[in-house]
Amino acid sequence: MQFGIFSVSDVTRDPVRDYTPTEAERIDALVQIAQRADEVGLDVFAVGEHHNPPFVSSSPPILLSHIAAVTKQILLSTSVTLITTNDPVKVAEEYALLQHLAKGRTDLMVGRGNTVPVYPWFGKDIRKGLHLALENYNLLHQLWRQDVVDWEGEFRTALQGFTSTPRPLDDVPPFVWHGAIRSPEIAEQAAYYGNGYFANNVLAPNFHFVPLVNLYRERFEHYGHGTKEQAIVGLGGQAFLARRSQDALDTYRPYFENAQIYGMNSSLEEYKELTPMSVGSPQEAIDKTMTFREAFGDYQRQLWNVDLGGLPVEMALEQVELLGTEVVPVLRKEMAARRSPAAAEAPTHASLMREKYGDAAPRRPRPSANRGDNVTGTSPYRDGDPAYRPNYPQVG
């Protein structure tokens, strides 16, 4: 099972210090948090994609490429890649390039996001959001698995003899999670392709997403990818920890009350009891996380947010340290002791390689040597001869 952290990259005023970090400081903090997660042995660091203030992670592939260069073993992912407003061709190429740079230490979660204005900013209609999610992922799936793609759909120009470059590392695409908190159609889509389903189990009541996870499991089995137990499930959460429970509550309270996303109808004590939020001692976080396993069954990935609402980077790093040294080692043992032998392991590039090739050498892709201009399908080279080059004027 994989344990890690995710960030939404918000730039929020620290209500205790009365200080708002700059965008540069917040970006640097994200890198520091990922590095510390790598150092303490967490499995995953993920970041969301946002295009509106006060968030700074508008381009996860760029941020994660930098983090890949300063980390050693942690898997780099997204807590959402906007499959609705991004061009699937661009997603295919950027994340394949990230996969190469990270030497396979990457996957991604696709989703619709929760920001309404982003659709018109990128020329899309929010009323078509679900259709965009379905069609765009269908194209992404093909682009990563077919060297040459002919495709026609509703929302973008057709592709003729198209090859996305670079091809996935070892001809094994990054693993994809489908993130959703309200749409059974997305659970169905994840099951259809045999991909993972991620319920961002944060801002809803405890176990609110059990029905969607169960639907995904049933449909995963229906499509012949394995049994319900072998379906691949991820859950989100949130944590603020201290060695004494009351210290955690006292320290986190101003940040909780400063974060509008929680609403103002519940106290911190009520909210942590009613939702998946863990605020307290490491043992309380362990106990709460084990209740997720009881409700959802065996699952493959648990992510926590530890830096939301203006929390200074020093505190966020302490949270990563506590999770990595006191919470996750216990959870690994407890989860393993209860795990069904039939449950799937969390996918990695290495496991996907073994599944596809066994002991054989990876396949070398055969991209289209001349993929045409995508409008007329004609070659940029004379008579389709790749050795031909136009006779450009000499310079100098």
Residue 113 has pLDDT above 80, yes or no: no
- The span from the CA of 61 to the CA of 29, in Å, is 17
| pLDDT of 293 higher than 50 | yes
pLDDT at 371: 57
**Position 380: which residue type?**
P
The pLDDT assigned to 181 comes to 81
pLDDT digits (tens, 9 = 90+) for 20-59: 999 999 999 999 999 999 999 999 999 999 999 999 999 9
Residue 263 lies in a domain: yes
Whether pLDDT at 115 is above 90: no
C-beta separation of 251 from 212 below 8 A: no
For the cut 70, the answer to whether the pLDDT of residue 105 exceeds it is yes
pLDDT band at 195 (very low <50, low <70, confident <90, very high): very high
Task: With respect to residue 394, please indicate whether it lies within any of the assigned structural domains.
Answer: no
Element holding 75 (H helix, E strand): strand 75-82
9 backbone φψ class: left, alpha, beta (φ>0; ψ -120 to 50): left
Determine, yes or no, domain membership for 206: yes
pLDDT value at position 388?
39
| pLDDT tier at 201, thresholds 50, 70, 90 | confident
Please give the pLDDT value at position 236.
95
Q: 264 in a domain, yes or no? A: yes
- The pLDDT of residue 396 is above 50: no
The number of domains in the chain is 1
Considering only CA atoms, which of 300, 185, 175 is closest in space to residue 232? 300
In a domain, 145, yes or no: yes
Considering the domain boundaries, does residue 396 fall inside one? no
Q: Is residue 312 part of a domain?
A: yes
Q: Which of 312, 299, 245 is nearest to 273 (CA)?
A: 245
Of residues 326 and 266, more confidence is placed in 326
Average pLDDT, the chain: 92
Return all residues near 256 (Cβ < 8 A) that are at least 6 apart.
Answer: 262, 268, 271, 279, 309
pLDDT at 377: 52
C-alpha distances out from residue 62 to 27, 30, 266, Å: 12, 13, 38
- 389 in a domain, yes or no? no
Q: Could you list the residue range(s) of the whole structural domain that residue 135 is in?
A: 2-384
What CATH number is attached to the domain comprising 81? 3.20.20.30
